[in-house]
Amino acid sequence: MKIYTEEIALSTSNRFELVDITSRVEEAVRKSGVRNGVCLVFAPHATAAIIANEHERGLVEDMVDLIRELFRPDAAWRHNRIDDNAHAHLASALIGAGRVFPVLEGRLVRGTWQNIFLVEMDGPRARRKVIVEVMGE
């Protein structure tokens, strides 16, 4: 079995932001040489998440609105006594810091309307990273 790992480095410029990393993940799958297996996309961060969905401007803004509504950045969370980002920790924990995709015939399998995003919820950050690990034959 082959295991190929790549680290995608990126920065964010807003408190909330969706960064489309689809082409960079697909590039990693190409470079891996794996024909059939799985691709793990994982953000090693407690205040960001990984999702797969449509890259359409209105929907991207809807996602941010929903995250704000559900996780209420201005609420009196206990963690905000020592930090100001409880909402981002809670959202990261519930949405999830990683996603797994199939790899078939050398290509990442995703729906036409499933782009891959890092969801920034405590930006701006100069250094965010996403680990892409491709495993298979």
Contacts with Zn ion: how many residues (CB under 5 A)? 2
- Is 83 a binding residue for Zn ion by CB under 5 A? The answer is yes
CB closer to Zn ion, 32 vs 85: 85
- Is 92 a binding residue for Zn ion by CB under 5 A? The answer is no
Q: How far is CA 88 from CA 70, 76, 129, in A?
A: 11, 14, 16
Instruction: With contacts defined by CB under 5 A, name the span among 15-23, 34-42, 77-85, 105-113 that binds Zn ion.
Output: 77-85
How far, in Å, CA of 6 to CA of 51, rounded?
Answer: 18
CB of 48 to Zn ion, least distance (A): 12
Residues whose CB is less than 8 angstroms from the CB of residue 70 and which lie 6 or more positions away in sequence, other chains included: 91
CB of 83 to Zn ion, least distance (A): 3
3-state helix, strand, coil in the chain (%, to 5): 30, 35, 35
CB closer to Zn ion, 57 vs 78: 78
CB-CB contact of 125 with 11 (8 Å): yes
Residues that bind Zn ion (CB under 5 A): 83, 85
